[in-house]
Amino acid sequence: MSNIIPTRYEPKEIEERIYAEWEEKKLFRADESSQKSAYSIVIPPPNVTGVLHMGHALNNTIQDILVRWKRMQGYDTLWLPGTDHAGIATQNVVERALAKEKRTRADMGRDKFLERVWQWKEEYGGTIIHQLKRLGCSCDWTRTRFTMDKGLSEAVMEVFKRLFEDRLLYKGDYIINWCPRCGTALSDEEAEHRDLSGKLYYIKYQVEGALKLEIENKDYIVVATTRPETLLGDVAVAVNPDDERYSWLEGKKVILPILKRRLDVIFDKEVDPSFGTGALKVTPAHDPVDFALAVKHDLKPINAMNNDGTINENGGEYQGLDRFEAREAIVEELKQRHQFVKMEDHDHSVGHCYRCHTVVEPRLSKQWFVRMKPLAVEGIQVVNEGKIRFHPERWTKVYLNWMENIRDWCVSRQIWWGHRIPVWYCVDCLGGKSPRDVEVDGPGVTGVFLVTGEEKTTKCPFCGGGNTAQDPDVLDTWFSSWLWPFSTMGWPRETAELTKFYPTDALVTAQEIIFFWVARMIMAGLKFREDIPFRDVYIHGTVRDSTGTKMSKSLGNVIDPLEVIQEVGADALRYSIISITSQGQDVFLSKDKFEFGRNFANKLWNASRYVMMNMEDHVPGKASAGNDLAGKWIMSAYNQAVDDVQKSLVAFRFNDAASALYEFVWHKYCDWYLELSKLSEDKVVTREILITVLDGILRLMHPFMPFITEEIWQKLPSKNGEFLMTSGWPVFDETSVDLVATNSMEALIAMITAVRNIRSFWNIEPKVSVDVVFKVENKRDAALISENSVYVEKLGRCSIKEISEKAARPGKSVSSLVNRIKVFVLLGDAIDLEKEGKRISDRIEELQNYLITLEKKLDNKDFVSRAPAEIVEKEKSKKEKFTREVRTLKENLEAIK
């Protein structure tokens, strides 16, 4: 008993209902104890504060396609979902909420504040999960993870401990990127460099004791800087030793303007004589190059800034001013002192906080770092050996380049929301030194110890005292994300999940995240689990708006996927976005693009409706086309589609798979087979084929459009409570590929098209039937036409008057050549001889021009001897074909004269 499919396709109702059914039947659940082969993917955990944007929609559609495809193939699939705690972003969100209540985290205290963040997480942190469900994602929600979960936190602690013990983790003074607004250090990756048009300021520094006449009548040196306010932290002036302009400064001191500090002049090859004046002010606490110089020349850095970007006590009267206000004020004072030379336009790239977009300040600070070079070695190796593959391949180079030049990773953050660094300090052992200032490199530093895992004692292991305090900082969010592929499966315990599902199979992500996440996961997997975390990395493009700008909420150019789903359905959204995304190319989106998927879903819906209407009380059996030409043809084409889709998916060519399906379903199955089926005489065979192919189409399309296919499939005859989602994936059946049937059917289609074409050209009204005559060259062609005359007559709206090898051209007719078959269409008085003459001569000219190039090609000895035989054959048969057509056209031209 088949169910009736409603006339109208209502995606919203269907999608919500179907998803609930899947959930209820627990179809997403992966079974770690089953014997089936595993296929697993971990979700790139979205930020808990996030809402679903188009980038997520694309990313998760791709993953869902992979997972559904593999699940249908019989794999035990695990798609593990979750979110990350997004330390800075989440803290910012909650702080903003507090600000509305006129409160700050400082006056709440750490514990209360964290309580509040957890509260926020419970309330709003699930948004994106719900949205992913609405998209149709078949994740195993019972395994949803969060980077601050107990299990994952234990993994973080374990990793911290191992790195610490292996001396891959240290605390030291280095220049880091500091966000004055968030009040924390950032990693290099978290500082987004943007080109700004800034200024280059030229400033005079007096040379101590220099006589004016010494050289060029000068007693000063001019330095150039983009950040004049940093002069408050200057400790030297550096010039290149080979720069003769400055050799007179040997042994001299210069006087820092405003503060009047005495500065050394140092000579170092690092200084580029061609930049600015060739003299560099050295500010080790605020610039990485200067810091390196200071280390080399044994200079003590002077920090001139507070955490919030204001000038500190080292800045004299500028103390308390914001860095940019200080810049203005200092320039003003320099002008008054006649120490300001000039200001030039200067474009340079400036780091911005990736969370709040404030200009970051390079700043000397004591932070925790991970030594990356030792970890990168193996990460490079596995990619070079092809154990991990990037798709498209070009990203391999990007990855390797970053890995080969990797720098230490600053992992401490001066915020509260995150995994607190499990390092404790014994105030007594440190003898009054502030824990903040302690340098640590591995175990053994008196007064510094780790508290991880179960042991809860915070007594100092060195002196046994209890006057201890924990490091106030938390770890970078990525310090938990980089463990995601195994921490989510229970590591460090050897769980059944890990055994079965690790390494995972594919990682699907965006290019922006290669350094942040992909590379680090590879290193973490190899270091802690001693195995790669995944085998294939598929990098998809960035979703941009129609002007090519990256979609972002602050720009207001977002297309909200939920809105699109509301309007056209998740299936349509999925199909559209997959179709327009080719192999990692950026996607330029506009709303009208989604009509594509919507129309296709609608087409599928209606085609299915037609098929079901014809099933009546049909009991499905085994489809066999027997001698039915159309049946053999569509079965052959269907199997071709199975093959195409499979091959495309294997190659991560999702858009190719989508367009192969589109072409087959719409232009073969719907446009032709359904029309042919209406005329079929053997209803039993036809029904069988209709339903069999529809069943296959639904299976092939399920990963792309899960909802509509599931809905229709369940209404197919004999699907008693089964789910398409967990049924089988079509297998390419080579024996169904029938070239003879394909050629014959294509010839018939061409004949019908030819008749339609002529009708249209001569403005024959659709209602009027025309008479046609076929002149064939052999009995097989004659049989093909006569056996399928219904198709030709009905679809071409014509009546066949004659099929013969000797048919003569009827009077007042026009003709067309299809393969070797000549089709005459009798037009009677509709024909305009002059118009027809012109039509024919135009065509003759066109063909003759082409024939000339063809002949040239075939006359070319090199071509004939060097090109593959089949190509030459192809060209020859083309020549024959067109020569024949020209001959026919010429006869026609004669005939109408």
Partner RNA sequence: GGGCGCGUAACUCAGCGGUAUAGAGUGCUACCCUUACAAGGUAGAGGUCAUAGGUUCAAAUCCUAUCGCGCCCACCA
Nearest residue to 836 via CA among 822, 821, 825, 849? 825
Residues 381-400 that bind RNA (CB under 7 A): 394, 397-398
Residue with tokens 């798609």: 79
Q: Which is nearer to RNA, 8 or 262 (CB)?
A: 8
Stretch that binds RNA, among 286-294, 333-341, 462-470, 475-483 (CB under 7 A): 286-294
**Can residue 860 be called a binding residue for RNA (CB under 7 A)?**
yes
Q: Which DSSP string do the residues of 448-513 spell out, in sequence order?
A: EEE--SS----S-TTT----EEE---EE-THHHHTTHHHHTTTTTS--HHHHHH-SEEEEEEEGGG
Q: Which is nearer to RNA, 336 or 405 (CB)?
A: 405
Stretch that binds RNA, among 49-57, 79-87, 158-166, 594-602 (CB under 7 A): 594-602
**What are the beta bridge partners of residue 804?**
775
Q: Which residue among 146, 178, 368, 515 contacts RNA (CB under 7 A)?
A: 515
**Can residue 226 be called a binding residue for RNA (CB under 7 A)?**
yes
Residues 554-573 that bind RNA (CB under 7 A): 568
Q: Which residue among 495, 583, 789, 819 contacts RNA (CB under 7 A)?
A: 583
Contacts (Cβ under 8 Å, ≥6 apart) of 389 = 383, 396, 535, 536, 537
Q: How far is the CB of 146 from RNA (least distance, A)?
A: 27
**Can residue 670 be called a binding residue for RNA (CB under 7 A)?**
yes
**Can residue 312 be called a binding residue for RNA (CB under 7 A)?**
no
x/- binding map, residues 796-835, to RNA, per CB under 7 A? ----------------------------------------
Q: How far is the CB of 557 from RNA (least distance, A)?
A: 13
Residues 402-441 that bind RNA (CB under 7 A): 402, 405
Q: Which residue among 118, 174, 248, 610 contacts RNA (CB under 7 A)?
A: 610
**Can residue 847 be called a binding residue for RNA (CB under 7 A)?**
yes
**Can residue 346 be called a binding residue for RNA (CB under 7 A)?**
yes
Contacts (Cβ under 8 Å, ≥6 apart) of 512 = 542
Q: Which is nearer to RNA, 126 or 273 (CB)?
A: 273
- Give the whole-angstrom CA distance, residue 266 versus residue 538: 50
Q: Which is nearer to RNA, 272 or 563 (CB)?
A: 272
Q: Which DSSP string do the residues of 151-211 spell out, in sequence order?
A: HHHHHHHHHHHHHHHTT-EEEEEEEEEEETTTTEEE-GGGEEEEEEEEEEEEEEEEETT--
Residues 739-758 that bind RNA (CB under 7 A): 753, 756-757
Q: Which is nearer to RNA, 114 or 827 (CB)?
A: 827
- Give the whole-angstrom CA distance, residue 896 versus residue 893: 6
Q: How far is the CB of 843 from RNA (least distance, A)?
A: 9
Token pair belonging to 495: 């769980």
- Give the whole-angstrom CA distance, residue 798 versus residue 554: 62
Q: How far is the CB of 656 from RNA (least distance, A)?
A: 7
**Can residue 73 be called a binding residue for RNA (CB under 7 A)?**
no
Q: Which is nearer to RNA, 499 or 877 (CB)?
A: 877
CB 254 within 8 A of CB 207: yes
**Can residue 762 be called a binding residue for RNA (CB under 7 A)?**
no
Nearest residue to 79 via CA among 60, 99, 103? 60
Q: Which residue among 25, 342, 678, 838 contacts RNA (CB under 7 A)?
A: 678
- Give the whole-angstrom CA distance, residue 634 versus residue 664: 9
x/- binding map, residues 634-663, to RNA, per CB under 7 A? ---------------------xx--x--x-
**What are the beta bridge partners of residue 382?**
none
Q: Which residue among 58, 156, 299, 580 contacts RNA (CB under 7 A)?
A: 580
Nearest residue to 83 via CA among 50, 39, 115, 40? 50
Q: Which is nearer to RNA, 90 or 602 (CB)?
A: 602
Q: Which is nearer to RNA, 93 or 847 (CB)?
A: 847
Q: Strand ranges (DSSP E) for 256-312?
A: 262-267, 279-282
- Give the whole-angstrom CA distance, residue 660 versus residue 648: 9
Q: Which is nearer to RNA, 94 or 705 (CB)?
A: 705
CB 570 within 8 A of CB 709: no
Nearest residue to 574 via CA among 51, 16, 62, 46? 62
Backbone angles phi, psi at 673, to 5 degrees: -65, -40
Q: Are strands 798-804 and 423-426 parallel, antiparallel or unpaired?
A: unpaired
**Can residue 280 be called a binding residue for RNA (CB under 7 A)?**
yes
**Can residue 343 be called a binding residue for RNA (CB under 7 A)?**
no
Contacts (Cβ under 8 Å, ≥6 apart) of 454 = none
Q: Which residue among 21, 31, 173, 188 contacts RNA (CB under 7 A)?
A: 188
Q: How far is the CB of 583 from RNA (least distance, A)?
A: 6
Token pair belonging to 607: 């085609």
Residues 531-550 that bind RNA (CB under 7 A): 546, 548-550
**Can residue 287 be called a binding residue for RNA (CB under 7 A)?**
yes
**Can residue 225 be called a binding residue for RNA (CB under 7 A)?**
yes
Residues 681-700 that bind RNA (CB under 7 A): none
Nearest residue to 137 via CA among 62, 199, 51? 62
**Can residue 227 be called a binding residue for RNA (CB under 7 A)?**
yes
What is each CA distance from 543 to 55, 343, 423, 516, in whole angstroms?
6, 40, 41, 19
Cis peptide leading into 503, omega within 30 of 0?
A: yes
Token pair belonging to 632: 């053999």
**Can residue 863 be called a binding residue for RNA (CB under 7 A)?**
yes
Q: How far is the CB of 531 from RNA (least distance, A)?
A: 28
Q: Which residue among 469, 613, 650, 833 contacts RNA (CB under 7 A)?
A: 613
Stretch that binds RNA, among 85-93, 138-146, 371-379, 860-868 (CB under 7 A): 860-868
Site for RNA (CB under 7 A): how many residues? 94
Residues 258-277 that bind RNA (CB under 7 A): 271-273, 275-276
Q: Strand ranges (DSSP E) for 253-370?
A: 253-255, 262-267, 279-282, 340-353, 361-370
**Can residue 868 be called a binding residue for RNA (CB under 7 A)?**
yes
Token pair belonging to 99: 């600000």
Q: Which residue among 130, 296, 553, 866 contacts RNA (CB under 7 A)?
A: 866
Q: Which is nearer to RNA, 669 or 774 (CB)?
A: 669
**Can residue 607 be called a binding residue for RNA (CB under 7 A)?**
yes
One-letter amino acid at 126 equals: G
**Can residue 595 be called a binding residue for RNA (CB under 7 A)?**
yes
**Can residue 192 be called a binding residue for RNA (CB under 7 A)?**
yes
Q: Which residue among 802, 882, 884, 893 contacts RNA (CB under 7 A)?
A: 882
Q: Which is nearer to RNA, 60 or 283 (CB)?
A: 283
Q: What is the CA radius of gyration of the chain?
A: 37
Residues 131-160 that bind RNA (CB under 7 A): none
CB neighbour class for 10 (10 Å; exposed up to 12, middle 13-18, buried from 19): exposed
Q: Which residue among 178, 478, 596, 713 contacts RNA (CB under 7 A)?
A: 596
Q: How far is the CB of 426 from RNA (least distance, A)?
A: 36
**Can residue 727 be called a binding residue for RNA (CB under 7 A)?**
no
**Can residue 224 be called a binding residue for RNA (CB under 7 A)?**
yes
Stretch that binds RNA, among 152-160, 344-352, 484-492, 830-838 (CB under 7 A): 344-352
**Can residue 842 be called a binding residue for RNA (CB under 7 A)?**
no
Largest CA-CA distance found in the chain, in angstroms, rounded = 117
- Give the whole-angstrom CA distance, residue 203 versus residue 54: 49
**Can residue 517 be called a binding residue for RNA (CB under 7 A)?**
no
